[in-house]
Amino acid sequence: MAELQALIFDVDGTLADTERDGHRVAFNKAFADAGLDWDWSVELYGQLLEVTGGKERIRFYLDHFNTGFERPDDLDSFIVDLHKKKTAHYTNMLAEGAIPMRSGVKRLLQEAREVGLRLAIATTTTPSNVSALLQHSLDADAEGWFEVIAAGDIVPAKKPAPDIYSWAMQQMDISPDVCVAFEDSE
């Protein structure tokens, strides 16, 4: 058996419980800013989490839960703008300390660093969301703890496809048999 060399972490739901009281709340604030009467309840958001990615989640919501919404001519731009507003709200929530790391995460990361394990992040959330979470919930220089931060749309297929993990391992020049991934999706 190969010796463990690296730990690769997902972010949302793994490093921090960001979904229900973070992203969902930020989406609802963005909807209100845009003059939309949409409200994603905890129950609805649980269903929407079957779709990976915020922009993809908005589109899925329109296709399956709000089919009567009169779509703008440029739906893609509308979704991108709405997602940017959501990200701004989410970042503000992080800056206010509203979304802490899960219990034990900071200790795990510190101890892994102390024994020389390499660290990486593999997530489909935006790079700005990752930066804000690490800086406000861990440490001002926490981004530097990670050799690779694979975030956003850098790969064609989002989770549960393994593309983001494959990309991170490729950047680290390591194979799967020397890594442990921490992930909350299947």
Catalytic residue numbers, as ranges? 10, 12
| Residue 128 structure tokens | 């700005």
Strands 179-182 and 148-150: unpaired
- Distance from the Cα of residue 80 to its chain's centroid: 16
Look at residue 107 and give its three-state secondary structure. Answer: helix
CA distance from start to end of the chain: 24
Bridge partners of 182? 9
